[in-house]
Structures are given as structure tokens and as C-alpha cells.
Structure 1
Amino acid sequence: MPLPKPNLYPEFNIVRLSHVELAVTDLARSRAFYVDTLGLQVTDETSDSIYLRALEERGHHCIVLKKAGAAEAHDLGFKLFSEEDLDKAEHFFNGKGLPVEWVERPYQSRTFRTRDPHGIPLEFYAEMERLPPIHQKYALYHGVKPLRIDHFNCFSPNVDESVAFYNELGFRVTEYTEDASSGKLWAAWTHRKGGVHDIAFTNGIGPRLHHVAFWVPTPLNIIDLLDLMATTGYLPNIERGPGRHGISNAFFLYVRDPDNHRIEIYCSDYQTVDPDLEPIKWDLKDPQRQTLWGAPAPKSWFEEGSAFAGVAARQPDLTASPIIAP
């Protein structure tokens, strides 16, 4: 199936991804991982929630950890350009027959929840409480020195359908993997903010959250994190990497939090601002697609993900298989 042409004038303006809420089973363990080990900053803390931001971010939070009985993923949050865009977005989703529920969210202006056609829970708002800048308060920098949330990656049961829907929202494809035998998409990377992706889709049992990624200054920060995790009890939490992706050219590391949510640490991808930028095509069997240096990902990377609360996942329509590490 051919890629849809970029929609440069969507019905409403999504600025970027904003935040994610993760259900965790032990707040103290999660705090030790996200704050003491990764280095995210606490902006609020209650008996059942921890709000975190990264060091370059001015918005109140990029991740919310919510205590729950089971580890799940909740809403993926996106910031809109204006309050007017919020009303336009409500009209768009209503017109698609998708649910719109206005909700109260701490530190956010008017916010509504909806779902994409596969069931991924989405949250839209226009304004979040601003905090003073801390990017030059270098005494706060520790762990992997996370600067900002960078992207989401989700398992999709039909990547072609996911790309077509998010294209309507104005997301543009930067890179994609095609199954040569069927001509169908196996994965796609789409953006709003001018990086390689705000949200990507990987063929698999879905919808499920594959990972949340944080941008860090340099590959050396990733090496420092590996040394820290390897000597503080987190060795089993290191899943994949370090390495350099063929897709996106980014230096990466994948780790698991105490509830097995997957976190990517990510840096050095490239700018994608030009509206006529041509997407880069990869073949599913190209050994440099996953890792430029040729090392394939482990089986867990293709099979395991965080369930979205209340959403039934299904088998993918495409049965093609990538190269998997033995």
C-alpha cells in the first residue's frame, strides 16, 4: 500500500507529543528508578501519583506515575496549538464516531480523552502549567540527564491503517519499513515537532505501548547510565543496546522499569522540518534497519509491550517476521 501524501493542513494543529501516564504497582520502586536512576525531576507527589519532567521542559510534567493494582499504560498526551484547536479536535473525533470525554487533569487546561480507531487512548489539551526553567541548573543533572520526552512507539495490528489515520491528524512519515512480499507497512515513524518521530507504529499484537523515549545530550550519557544500572541492582533491566539505529540514525538504549514498562534512551537523530522531506524506505530483512551495526533485537523487543488499560489487543493482520537475535 503506498504511503499517503503528507497532510500539511490538518483540521486542527497538534504541536507535539506531551506526556504519558503509566500505572505502576509500587510508587517507591518506580520513584527510585525514574528519579534516582534516570534523573527525571519531581514536580508534584501525592500518596498515589508522581509527576515528573525532564530538564529542558517548561511544562509541569511529561510523565505521570499512578499507583495501581496492575502495570498498564494509560493515556498518551498531545499538546495542541490553541484552545480553538481543542474545539476543532473535538469536532474531528466526533465526526469519526470516536468517543470524546472531557476530563479534569491537574495542571492542564481543558482536556479531552478519545481513542484512535485501534483503541489507543489519547488525551489532548492546549495549555499546561509552566514552571521556571531548570536547564541551566546543572546541580540537578544526574542519572542519564534526560532533557525531554521524545516519542512514543506503539504496537499496531495494522500499521497501514494507523499511518492513514495519523496522517489525517497532520503527522508526516519520516521513515518506514515495508514487507517486500506483501507491499504492506511493517513499521512507520511519524512526527509533528520536526524530529524523526513523535509516535511510531510497529507491527504486532496491539494496540499496546511498545516504549516511551527520552532524549539525552550525548551517547556518553547512555554509557554512564549503563555503568550506573549495572552496579546498582538494575542489570536485569537492561534489555537492548547500546547501539545506533539504522532507522533514525539515533544512538539508543532500551531498559525496563520495575513494572516492565519499556523506556528508550535516545539521542542524535536528525531534523525533519521541511514539509517536502521524502520518507526513507527500509526493507524488513535489511540487517542494518534495526541497528546500523547489524545487531538484531531480541525476541522480547518484538513480543512484549504494556497493555493499554481497558483495551483488548488483537493479533496483527500482517504475519511477516523481522530478523530476530538468536
Structure 2
Amino acid sequence: MPIPAPNLTPAFNILRLSHVELIVTDLAKSRAFYVDTLGLQVTDEDSQTIYLRAMEERGHHCLVLKKGDTPQARDLSFKLFDEEHLERAEHFFREKGHPTEWVERPYQSRTFRTRDPHGIPLEFHARMDRLPPIHQQYKLYNGVKPLRIDHFNCFTPDVDASVAFYNQLGFRVTEYTEDEESKRLWAAWMHRKGGVHDMAFTNGTGPRLHHTAFWVPTPLNIIDLLDLMATTGWVKNIERGPGRHGISNAFFLYIRDPDGHRTEIYCSDYQTVDPDLEPIKWDLKDPQRQTLWGAPAPRSWFEEGSLFEGAEPIASTLAATPIVAP
């Protein structure tokens, strides 16, 4: 299917992704991973929840870890322009028959929850409590020195349908992979904030969260993290990389937390703010699409992901397969 034309006047204005909540089974182990190893900053915590932010962020949190019995992903959260656009968003989803509910969230203004057509739980708000800047408190920079949350990537059973829906929300495609035989999309990268993506969609059993990504200053920070993980008991949590993607041009590393939730450490993609920027097309069989250089992705990277709470995954009908490491 053809990539839809950019929708420059959506019903409401999504500024960027905001945060994600993950259910973890052992809060202490998760804290050791995300705080002591990756270097995210704790903004609040108790016996059930840890709120975290990265070094450049002024909002209260970009990641929420919630203790639970079963590892899952909860809402993918997005920040809107203002309260008027929040009302517009709720009206948009309600008019299209999606479930909507207003919820109370700590450190956020009015917030509503809904789901996309495949069941991905979404959350929207216009304001979050602001914290003092810490980006020049260099004594706090630890681990991989994460600067900000960058994007989500989700498995979906129908990439074409996901792209068509998020196009209605104003997301614009920057790059995509097409199966030449069926002419269907195998993956697509879509943005709001002017990078390569805030949301990406990958063909597969879904909906499931493939990964959450954090932007870091340089590739050397990723090398430092690998040295740290290799000498502090986390070497088996390194899943893929380091390497450079063809798509996005980003230097990357994929790691897994104690419950298997996947994190991408990410830097050096490019600016996409021009509204007439043409999407870049890749052939599914092009090996440099996923890895410009570096080892091919392992099978786990294509098959494993975090279940979304309350969403029942279904299999994709697109049987095309990319190159998989032996």
C-alpha cells in the first residue's frame, strides 16, 4: 500500500512521546538496572513504584516502574499542546468508537486513556510537573548517561493499518520497509517531534511493545555501558549490538531488563522537521536496512516483546521474513 500523504492539520496536536509505565516483578532488581546501571534519575519512589527521568528532561518522569506479578507494558503516553487539544483528542477517539476514560495520574494534569485499533493502550495529557534542570549537574551523569526518552517501537499484526491510523493523529512517516512481493509494509517509522520517530511499527504478533529507546550523547557512551554491564553481572542482558542501523542512521544497542523488557540505547539519527520531507523506502531483503554494519539481529529481536496489559495479541497475516542471525 502507498504511504499516506502527511496530515499537517490533525484534529489535535501531539507534541511528542512522554513516558511509558512498565510492570516489573522485582523493584529492587529493576532499580539496579535502570538507575545503577543505565543512569536514569529517581524523581520519586516507594515500595510499589519508581519514577525516573533522564538528564535533559524537565518533566517529572519518562519511565514509571510499577511492581506487579506479571511483566507487562501499560500505557504509552503522549504530551499534547494544551488542555484544549486534550479535549479535542478525547472527542476524536470517542467519536471513532475507541474506549476513553479520564484517569488520575500523579504529577500530571488531566489525563485520559484510550486504545488504538489494535489495542495498544495510549495515554494523553497536556501538563506534567516540571523539575529543576539537571543537565549541567555532571556529577549525576552515570551509566550510559541517558539524555532523554526518544521513541517506542511496537509489534503490530498490520503495519499498513497502524500507519494509516497514526497518520490521522498527525504522525509522519520518515522511513519504511516494504515487502516487494505483496507491496505491504513490514515496518514504518513515524514522528511528531522532528526526529526519525516517536512511534515505529514492526510486523509481527501484536500488539506488543518491542522496545523503548533512550537518546545518549555519543557512541562512546554505549561502549562505556557495555564495559560496565560486562563487569557488573549484566553481560547476559546484552541482546544486540553495538552497530549502526541503515534505517535512521542511528548507532544502537539493545539490552533487556531483569523481566525481559527491551531498551534501545540510541544516538545520531537526523532531523526531519520539514513537512515535505520524502520518506525513505527500504527493501525487506536489503541487509543494510536493519544493520548498516554489525552482526545481524538475533531471532529473539524479531519474535520477543512485552505484552500490553489488557490486549490480546494476534498473529500477523504478512509472512515475509527479514534476515535473521543463525
On whether the aligned pair clears a TM of 0.5, the verdict is yes
Per-residue deviation, residues 241-268 of structure 1 (Å, max 9, x unmatched): 0000000000000000000000000000
* Structure 1 residues 247-262: aligned runs within 5 Å: 247-262=247-262
Aligned-pair CA distance for 1:95 = 1.1
Structure 2 counterpart of 1:14: 14
* Partner residue, 1:296: 296
Equivalent-residue separation in structure 2 for 1:137 and 1:222 (angstroms): 20
Q: Superposed, which structure 2 residues align to 1:228-267 within 5 Å?
A: 228-267=228-267
Residue in structure 2 matched with residue 150 of structure 1 by the alignment: 150
Alignment-mate amino acid for residue 92 of structure 1: F
Q: CA contact under 8 A between 2:241 and 2:294: conserved in structure 1?
A: no
| Amino acid in structure 2 at the alignment position of 1:14 | I
CA distance in 2, matches of 1:70, 1:262: 15
Instruction: For 1:304 and 1:11, locate their aligned partners in 2 and report how far apart those are by CA, in whole Å.
Output: 34
Where does residue 272 of structure 1 map in the other structure? 272
- Residues of 2 paired with 1:5 and 1:317: CA distance? 25
Secondary structure of the equivalent of 2:29?
Answer: helix
Q: C-alpha deviations, 1:70-94, integer Å up to 9, x for none?
A: 1000000000000000000011001
Q: Deviations over 1:176-217 (max 9, x none)?
A: 000000000000000000000000000000000000000000
SS of equivalent residue, structure 2 residue 91: helix
Q: Which runs of 4+ in 1 moved over 2 A?
A: none
Q: How far is the alpha carbon of 1:295 from its aligned partner?
A: 3.2
1:97 is aligned to 2:134: no
Cα offset, 1:155, TM superposition: 0.1
Query: 3-state SS of the aligned residue for 1:239?
Result: strand
- CA contact under 8 A between 1:287 and 1:294: conserved in structure 2? no
* Counterpart-to-counterpart distance in 1, 2:251 and 2:229: 18
CA distance in 1: counterparts of 2:48 and 2:54, whole angstroms: 20
Describe how 1:19-168 pairs up with structure 2 within 5 A.
19-168=19-168
Q: Which residue of structure 2 aligns with residue 222 of structure 1?
A: 222
- SS state of the match for residue 59, structure 1? coil
Identity of aligned residues (%): 80
Unaligned ranges ≥5, structure 1: none
Aligned counterpart, 1:307: 307
Which secondary structure does the structure 1 equivalent of 2:94 belong to? Answer: helix
| Contact preservation (8 Å) 1:287, 1:295 | no
Q: Give SS of 1:173's match.
A: strand
Question: Partners of 1:225 and 1:296 in 2: how far apart?
Answer: 21
| Alpha-carbon distance between aligned partners in 2 of 1:159 and 1:209, rounded to the nearest angstrom | 14
Alignment root-mean-square deviation, CA: 0.5
**1:4-44 Cα shifts (integer Å, max 9, x gaps):** 10000000000000000000000000000000000000000
Cα distance in 1, alignment partners of residues 147 and 218 from structure 2: 11
Question: Which amino acid counterpart does residue 132 of structure 2 have in structure 1?
Answer: P
Instruction: Output one character per residue of 1:95-151: Cα deviation in whole Å (capped at 9) or x when no partner.
Output: 110000100000000000000000000000000000000000000000000000000
2:176 is aligned to: 176
Q: In the TM superposition, what is the alpha-carbon distance from 1:47 to its structure 2 partner?
A: 1.2
Please give the secondary structure, in 2, of the residue aligned with 1:254: strand
2-structure distance, mates of 1:90, 1:293: 43
Paired amino acid for 1:170: G
> Would the aligned equivalents of 2:176 and 2:185 in 1 still touch at CA under 8 Å?
yes
* CA apart distance, 1:53: 0.1
Match in the other structure for 2:186: 186
